[in-house]
Amino acid sequence: MLKTSASTRRIGIVGNPHDPMGQLLEDQPHRADDVFFPLVDPADADNSLDEIVVLSQADALGHFPALLASSTPITIILRRHSIGQNSPDWQQSYKLLLAGLNEAQPPHIALCALTDEAVHSFVKVADHNISQLPPLVPTRQVETTFPIDRSASETTFFLVNSDGSREARRAEHAAFNWVKLRRLANLRAVDRDDQDLCDLVELANETRTSSTQSPTSKPLKMLAVVPNGVGLGHITRMMALAKALQANGETEVIFWCFSRAAEILQAAGYQIILRQTAAHLGAHPPDWRALETQEFALAIQTLKPDLVSYDGAMIDPFVFNALKMPGCGRTAFLWVRRGMLRPDSDPLFMENEQFADLILEPGDLAVEVDKGPTRTRQADKRGFSQHFTSAPVSLAITLPSYTRREAKAQMNLGWGKHCIVSLGGAFGDWDRLEALLIKHAHANGVKLIWAQSPLAAPPRSSELLVRRLFPLSRYLPGIDGVVTATGYNSFHELMLTYDKPVLFAPTNHVRMDDQASRARYAAAQGWASVAFSDRPEDMDQQIATFMKQVKSGTSVSNRPKQSLDQRDFYKRIQSVASRYHASTLVGAAE
Amino acid sequence: MDQGSLLDHFAQVRRQVITLCSAKRFSAAQMLLVGSGLSVADAPGLWEHIARRAAQAGHDPIAHEVRKTIWQAGGNSAALSLQEAAYFLNNKDHENCIFVIEGQFGPTPNNIEAHEFLTRAYLMQAQSARSARQIRTKKDIAHRLTKGLTPRSPAHAMAAIDLLRFCGSFERAIALNEMAQRLFPQDVRFLMRNTRMLEQKGQFSAAIPIWQSIAETSDRYRIEALLRLHRLQERLELIKDADETAAHLLTLNLPIENRLILALHLGLPHLVQSVARLIAQGGPKDAPITFEQGQKIGEALLDHGEIGLLVWLRRQRLPLSDQVKVILDQCAFGEPTGPAMPDSFDVAAKILSPDFMLPLEGFASRPPKPPGWPGSRKTPGRILLVNASLKAGGAERQFVSLIKSMIDQGVPKDTIDVAFFSLETDRDMDRFLPDLADTGVTIHDLSQRIVHNPALPKDVERVLSALPIEMRNDLRPLWHLISEVRPNVLHGWQDRAAISCGLAGYLTDTERVVLSTRNMSPATRRDKKLRKAKALFADFAKRENYTLTANSELGAQDYIKWLSLEKDLVKPLRNIVDVRQFETVLRGRKPKDIDTPITIGGVFRLALNKRPLLWLNTVSALRELLDRPIKPVIFGDGPMREAILTEAKALGCDDLEIISSESAPTKIYSQIDALLLMSRVEGLPNVMLEAQAAGLPVAACEVGGVREAAQKRGDARALLLPAQIEAKEAAEKIANWLPTALSAKPDARVGFVRTHFGPKATIDPVLEIYCGRDKG
Give tens-digit pLDDT for B658-688.
998 887 888 999 999 999 999 988 888 889 9
Give yes or no for a contact between A61 and A50, defined as CB atoms under 8 angstroms apart. Answer: no
**How many other CB atoms are found less than 10 A from the CB of residue B515?**
26
Nearest by CB: B247 against A43, A103, A317: A103
* Cα B92 to Cα A301, B81, B86, B122, B160, distances in angstroms: 57, 16, 10, 11, 17
CATH number of the domain encompassing residue B114: 1.25.40.10
Reported as a pLDDT band with limits 50, 70 and 90, residue A87 is low
B749 CA to centre of own chain:
38
Rounded Cα distance, B578 and B763, in Å: 12
Q: Are residues B681 and B737 in the same domain?
A: yes
> Which chain A residues are closer than 8 Å to B531 by Cβ?
86
Give yes or no for a contact between B125 and B94, defined as CB atoms under 8 angstroms apart. Answer: yes
Mutate to test the interface with A, among B238, B272, B274 (most CBs of A within 10 A): B274
Output the pLDDT for position A480: 93
> Which chain B residues are closer than 8 Å to A86 by Cβ?
267, 526, 528, 531
Of the listed ranges A341-345, B35-39, B596-600, the least confidently predicted one is B35-39
> Which chain B residues are closer than 8 Å to A125 by Cβ?
none
If you count them, how many residues does chain A have?
Answer: 590
What is the extent of the structural domain holding B745? 589-757
Count of pairs with CB atoms under 8 A, one residue in A, one in B: 104
Q: Is the pLDDT of residue A431 over 70?
A: yes
CA distance A61 to chain B (A): 6
In DSSP terms, which residues pair with A336 in a beta bridge? A311, A360
B700 CA to centre of own chain:
32
Q: Are residues B464 and B559 in the same domain?
A: yes
* φ and ψ at residue A54, rounded to 5 degrees: -105, 130
Mutate to test the interface with B, among A18, A21, A37, A40 (most CBs of B within 10 A): A40
* Cα B156 to Cα B127, B180, B229, distances in angstroms: 16, 10, 27
Using the Cβ of A86 and the Cβ atoms of chain B, whether some distance falls under 8 Å is answered with yes
Q: Is A308 helix (H, G, I), strand (E, B) or coil?
A: strand
Which residue of chain A comes nearest to B269, CA vs CA?
A85
Residues 6+ apart with CB under 8 A from A279: A228
Tell me, which fold does domain A10-132 have in CATH? Rossmann fold (3.40.50)
Q: Are residues B301 and B357 in the same domain?
A: yes
Q: Are residues B560 and B656 in the same domain?
A: no
If you count them, how many residues does chain B have?
Answer: 776
Q: At which of B197, B226, B248 does a domain end?
A: B197
Q: Is the pLDDT of residue A455 over 60?
A: no
Reported as a pLDDT band with limits 50, 70 and 90, residue A453 is low
Residue B548 lies in a domain: yes
Output the pLDDT for position B60: 84
> If we measure between CA atoms, which residue out of B500, B541, B513, B559 comes closest to residue B683?
B559
The structural domain count of chain B equals: 4
Residue B638 lies in a domain: yes
H/E segment holding residue B759: helix B759-770
**How many other CB atoms are found less than 10 A from the CB of residue B457?**
12
Using the Cβ of A99 and the Cβ atoms of chain B, whether some distance falls under 8 Å is answered with yes
Tell me what the mean pLDDT of segment A545-565 comes to: 90
Output the pLDDT for position B285: 83
> Which chain A residues are closer than 8 Å to B274 by Cβ?
14-15, 56, 58-59, 61-63
The pTM score is 0.80
CATH number of the domain encompassing residue B739: 3.40.50.2000
Provide, rounded to the nearest whole percent, the portion of chain A with pLDDT above 70. Answer: 91
Residue B297 lies in a domain: yes
> Which chain A residues are closer than 8 Å to B315 by Cβ?
284, 286
Exposed/middle/buried for A404, CB within 10 Å: 0-12, 13-18, 19+? middle
Nearest by CB: B346 against A18, A63, A93: A18
Which residue of chain B comes nearest to A102, CA vs CA?
B247
Q: Are residues B528 and B641 in the same domain?
A: no
Q: Is B524 helix (H, G, I), strand (E, B) or coil?
A: helix
Identify the CATH class of A400-552.
alpha beta
CA distance A287 to chain B (A): 7
Q: Is the pLDDT of residue B710 over 90?
A: yes
Rounded Cα distance, A400 and A67, in Å: 61
Q: Are residues B565 and B632 in the same domain?
A: no
Using the Cβ of A94 and the Cβ atoms of chain B, whether some distance falls under 8 Å is answered with no
> Which chain B residues are closer than 8 Å to A317 by Cβ?
343-344
> Which chain A residues are closer than 8 Å to B266 by Cβ?
92, 96
Residue B478 lies in a domain: yes
CA distance A64 to chain B (A): 6
> Which chain B residues are closer than 8 Å to A286 by Cβ?
315-316
Output the pLDDT for position B348: 95
H/E segment holding residue B81: helix B78-90
Output the pLDDT for position B133: 53
> If we measure between CA atoms, which residue out of A180, A226, A239, A217 comes closest to residue A18?
A180
Interface residues on B facing A, Cβ-Cβ cutoff 8 A: 243-244, 246-248, 250-254, 259, 263, 266-271, 273-275, 277-278, 280-281, 284-286, 315-317, 343-344, 346, 350, 526, 528, 531
**How many other CB atoms are found less than 10 A from the CB of residue A535?**
10
Q: A16 and B269 in contact by Cβ < 8 A?
A: no
Mutate to test the interface with B, among A18, A61, A153 (most CBs of B within 10 A): A61
Q: Which architecture, in CATH terms, is A220-393?
A: 3-Layer(aba) Sandwich (3.40)
Q: A284 and B274 in contact by Cβ < 8 A?
A: no
Using the Cβ of A38 and the Cβ atoms of chain B, whether some distance falls under 8 Å is answered with no
Q: Are residues B350 and B463 in the same domain?
A: no
Q: Are residues B551 and B594 in the same domain?
A: no
Reported as a pLDDT band with limits 50, 70 and 90, residue A216 is low
Q: Is the pLDDT of residue A583 over 50?
A: no
Q: Are residues B642 and B562 in the same domain?
A: no
Which residue of chain A comes nearest to B243, CA vs CA?
A96
Residue B62 lies in a domain: no
Q: Is the pLDDT of residue B476 over 60?
A: yes
Half-sphere exposure for A569 (CA within 13 Å, toward CB) = 26
Of the listed ranges A354-358, A450-454, B404-408, the least confidently predicted one is A450-454
Rounded Cα distance, B675 and B698, in Å: 5
Using the Cβ of A153 and the Cβ atoms of chain B, whether some distance falls under 8 Å is answered with no
What pLDDT digit, counting tens, does each position of B479-511 carry? 999 999 999 999 999 999 999 999 999 999 999
Domain ranges for chain A, please list them: 10-132, 139-213+585-589, 220-393, 400-552
Rounded Cα distance, A569 and A241, in Å: 9
Amino acid at A294: Q
Q: A96 and B247 in contact by Cβ < 8 A?
A: yes
Rounded Cα distance, B89 and A307, in Å: 68
Per DSSP, helices labelled H in A500-565 are: 515-524, 536-552
Q: Is the pLDDT of residue A175 over 70?
A: yes
Q: Are residues B675 and B536 in the same domain?
A: no
Q: Is B653 helix (H, G, I), strand (E, B) or coil?
A: coil
CA distance A77 to chain B (A): 14
* φ and ψ at residue A177, rounded to 5 degrees: -80, 130
Q: Which of residues 45-64 of A touch B (CB under 8 A)?
A: 56, 58-59, 61-64
Give yes or no for a contact between B596 and B568, defined as CB atoms under 8 angstroms apart. Answer: no
Which residue of chain B comes nearest to A153, CA vs CA?
B347
Output the pLDDT for position A557: 87
> If we measure between CA atoms, which residue out of B127, B132, B76 comes closest to residue B103?
B76
Q: B250 and A88 in contact by Cβ < 8 A?
A: no
| Beta strand B698-701 pairing with B719-721 | parallel
In DSSP terms, which residues pair with B547 in a beta bridge? B514
> Which chain A residues are closer than 8 Å to B265 by Cβ?
none
Reported as a pLDDT band with limits 50, 70 and 90, residue B73 is confident
> Which chain B residues are closer than 8 Å to A18 by Cβ?
346
Residue B773 lies in a domain: no
CA distance B339 to chain A (A): 18
What pLDDT digit, counting tens, does each position of A248-274 carry? 888 999 999 998 778 888 888 999 999
Give yes or no for a contact between B84 and B63, defined as CB atoms under 8 angstroms apart. Answer: no
Residue B31 lies in a domain: no
* Choice between B92 and A60, residue whose per-residue pLDDT is larger: A60
Output the pLDDT for position A5: 55
Nearest by CB: B275 against A62, A95, A100: A62
Q: B243 and A321 in contact by Cβ < 8 A?
A: no
> Which chain B residues are closer than 8 Å to A151 by Cβ?
none
Of the listed ranges A47-56, A94-103, B592-601, the least confidently predicted one is B592-601
Q: CA angle at residue B674 from B672 to B679, to 5 degrees?
A: 110
Using the Cβ of A348 and the Cβ atoms of chain B, whether some distance falls under 8 Å is answered with no
Over B170-206, what HEC string results?
HHHHHHHHHHHHHHCCCCHHHHHHHHHHHHHCCCHHH
Reported as a pLDDT band with limits 50, 70 and 90, residue A1 is very low
User: Quick one: angle between helices B26-36 and B60-72, nearest 10?
Assistant: 20
Rounded Cα distance, A424 and B597, in Å: 104
H/E segment holding residue A420: strand A417-422
Residue B377 lies in a domain: no
> If we measure between CA atoms, which residue out of A77, A70, A104, A74 comes closest to residue A93?
A77
**How many other CB atoms are found less than 10 A from the CB of residue B296?**
19
Q: Do A10-132 and A220-393 agree at the fold level?
A: yes
